[in-house]
Amino acid sequence: MVSKSLKEKFLNQKAVVLWMTRLSGSGKTTLAENLESELFSMGYLAQILDGDNMRSGINKNLGFSAEDREENIRRIAEISRLFLNCGLICINSFISPTNKIREMAKDVIGRDSFIEIFLNAPIEICEKRDVKGLYKAARAGKIKNFTGIDSPYEIPMHPDIEINTGELSVEESVEKCMRIIIERIRS
Amino acid sequence: MVSKSLKEKFLNQKAVVLWMTRLSGSGKTTLAENLESELFSMGYLAQILDGDNMRSGINKNLGFSAEDREENIRRIAEISRLFLNCGLICINSFISPTNKIREMAKDVIGRDSFIEIFLNAPIEICEKRDVKGLYKAARAGKIKNFTGIDSPYEIPMHPDIEINTGELSVEESVEKCMRIIIERIRS
């Protein structure tokens, strides 16, 4: 078998999972895409996992009940582990609102490979952006159990990286993340 | 976003899925591991997906009913698609006994990226090997719906590669596969 460490050497990187958490509209997707580009331009290979490619594919048979949300995150964590074992960097962008659900993901992935990035934008800013009109729908009662409105978001207690995307520009956010990430992925 | 084709260029390979199908004991795992090593020694990056890493991880909440077997293969196909989109080669090793289930995998993955490898070993040879003692258990009625014993295996109609692992050595099998694979992954 070609081991994880052989693949990491081949790719000249250490495999980690960058796990971004926070409300809809906090800038997770923007940051994920910019981090992937920045890493790629430096010669690192990463894969974004997010609602777009998970909910439309492997997790399209899951809804938004508490049970299904947990199964959603469990599968994502297991997929991340497969990518890790192939020497790759995963950039995961999911609301993942509770400590319990993030701890479960950490357990599956392995704590040493898990970099938690908390996008600390206030809900007012997230709601103001409302790119997909989801807050409006949630306020109108058309979406139930919407995180930040009628479903809680638990602040991470010890994130590895905290970014206030309400104050920092995208470039500043990427730079702040990269300072920490680069130390972890340099082989 | 960093596109699939940029990642393929970076890795200097075309992403494909090598899908190996046939009975337990037909040599799928051996061939998969040898193909991964051979590809890696030539500078190609691949990931094996098989019962070991699927059933113990993402698919550990699935059993062996017809419904669960289909969901098992569906998830594997969706995961393969994620690896493909990251420019990687997937080497999948699953009994995948019916045309229906293999067609479903092809549909999810995309026909152009799917290379079907049929390990055409007679059941007598598979059963004689019986590394895990599964045939013995199936003959004794301790395992139900065991493919080849009391559950059918449908011969693939148009496999891209057919290997009689009962006649060819591992080295010969790898060589025969590589002649076809190399044309498809050369960037």
Note whether B57 contacts A78, CB cutoff 8 Å.
Answer: yes
Q: Which residues, 6 or more positions from B157, have their beta carbon under 8 angstroms from its beta carbon?
A: B99
Q: How confident is the model at residue A139 (pLDDT cuts 50, 70, 90)?
A: very high
Average confidence score pLDDT of chain A: 95
| In the predicted structure, residue A53 carries a pLDDT above the cut 80 | yes
d(Cα A34, Cα A54) in Å, to the nearest integer?
Answer: 19
The distance of Cα A14 from the centroid of its chain, to the nearest Å, equals 18
The distance of Cα A21 from the centroid of its chain, to the nearest Å, equals 5
User: What is the interface pTM, i.e. ipTM, of the complex?
Assistant: 0.94
In this prediction, residue A1 carries a pLDDT of 85
Q: How far is A167 from chain B (nearest CA, A)?
A: 24
Which residues form the domain of B95?
4-185
Q: Provide the number of CB pairs (under 8 Å) joining chain A to chain B.
A: 75
Residues of A in contact with B33 (CB under 8 A): 1
- Residue B78 has its nearest CB partner, among A58, A85, A86, at A58
Structure tokens at A14: 């250490």
> Is this structure's pTM higher than 0.90?
yes
- CATH code for the domain of A121: 3.40.50.300
Q: How far is A172 from chain B (nearest CA, A)?
A: 19
Q: Which of A24, A93, A96, A173 is catalytic?
A: A96
Structure tokens at B152: 């059918």
Average confidence score pLDDT of chain B: 95
Number of structural domains chain B divides into: 1
Helix axes of B66-85 and A66-85: crossing angle, nearest 10 degrees: 50
What are B19-77's pLDDT values in tens digits? 999 999 999 999 999 999 999 999 999 999 999 899 999 999 998 888 999 999 999 99
Note whether A75 contacts B78, CB cutoff 8 Å.
Answer: no
Note whether B58 contacts A78, CB cutoff 8 Å.
Answer: yes
- Residue B45 has its nearest CB partner, among A10, A81, A82, at A10
Q: How confident is the model at residue B83 (pLDDT cuts 50, 70, 90)?
A: very high
Note whether B82 contacts A7, CB cutoff 8 Å.
Answer: no
Does the active-site annotation cover A41?
A: no
Q: How confident is the model at residue B187 (pLDDT cuts 50, 70, 90)?
A: confident
In this prediction, residue A107 carries a pLDDT of 97
